[in-house]
Homo-oligomer: A and B are copies of this chain.
Amino acid sequence: MSEALRPMVKSRLYEQVLERLRAYVTEAGLKAGDKLPAERELAASLGVSRASVKQAIVVLEVQGLVEARHGGGTYLVRDTLDVEPVEQLVERRKRLPEVLEAREALETKLAELAAERRTEDELDAIRASLDFMHEEIVDGGFGVEGDRRFHAAVTAAAHSSLLADFMKAIAGQITESRNESLRQPGRPHRSLAQHTAIYEAIAAGDPKKAAAAMRKHVRTVAKVRLLDWVPED
């Protein structure tokens, strides 16, 4: 599609106010806890209505960058009005070695929690993923989908939405590494065996064993990757 013919985006006024506000905070060197000028004042300075200023402030409010106290002024929460890196994760998460480190940290804990908290149904789901992966391999596949289901089932059984969210943040990268690592000779069978060990520890309700088994598994994946990958820094 032609760059010139993409849909016209008419900048909303509040977006411009937002930019001016960010610039102002930077230029004036405002820090966390400092007070922003009053809405009426900002409106007058920028030559816009108070409603537009208000809309911009609401945006900053929902982003947690600013705190408006009824009757008491509006205050900076951080030293800047730029959004936090957390929201930029989507970009950052592309670096594989770090993803594998994070994966180890998260999945080890998830396996531990799963061993403590899994219900019978969840245990069945994990076992089902094992069976599925076995089928895939017997049919000559790599067990990619079974692998995915296994880790998803363990994550679900851990009952931690926060850790699950973190996993989701690196899910795309994990998928990529899974696809490649399971194509290594002998890997599908070995992976299935490791999954089984993790499953047994979870079934037995042994958190330490589950964590150890998961750690070993994730490290296996990491090692394979390192054979053909050299971290750039």
- A100-126 interface mask toward B, CB cutoff 8 Å, 1 = contact, 0 = none? 011011101110010000000000000
The contact of A166 among B59, B70, B90, B166, by CB within 8 Å, is: B166
Q: A36 at the A/B interface (Cβ < 8 Å)? A: no
Q: A162 at the A/B interface (Cβ < 8 Å)? A: yes
- Name the interface residues of A6-20: CB closer than 8 Å to any CB of B: 10, 12, 14
- With contacts A58-B14, A101-B109, A106-B105 known, is A92 near B162, CB below 8 A? yes
CB pair A102–B58 under 8 Å, yes or no, is no
CB nearest neighbor in B for A64: B90
CB pair A161–B98 under 8 Å, yes or no, is yes
Q: A85 at the A/B interface (Cβ < 8 Å)? A: yes
CB pair B54–A168 under 8 Å, yes or no, is no
- With contacts A59-B59, A70-B10, A101-B160 known, is A165 near B51, CB below 8 A? no
Query: How many copies of the polypeptide does the oligomer hold?
Result: 2
> Once bound together, how far apart are the Cα atoms of A108 and B104, in whole Å?
11
Query: How many residues from A make CB contacts under 8 Å with B?
Result: 43
Residue numbers in B under 8 Å from A10 (CB-CB): 70
Which A residues fall within an 8 A CB radius of B? 10, 12, 14, 51, 54-55, 58-59, 61-64, 70, 84-90, 92-93, 95, 98-99, 101-102, 104-106, 108-110, 113, 160-163, 165-166, 168-170
Beyond A86-B169, A102-B109, A105-B163, 7 extra complex contacts between A and B, CB < 8 Å: A12-B58, A51-B51, A58-B59, A62-B63, A102-B163, A102-B166, A166-B166
30 contacts between A and B (CB under 8 A): A12-B61, A51-B51, A55-B58, A59-B59, A59-B62, A62-B62, A62-B63, A84-B168, A85-B165, A85-B168, A86-B165, A86-B169, A88-B165, A89-B162, A89-B165, A92-B162, A92-B165, A93-B162, A95-B162, A101-B109, A102-B109, A102-B160, A102-B162, A102-B163, A104-B109, A105-B108, A105-B163, A106-B106, A162-B170, A166-B169
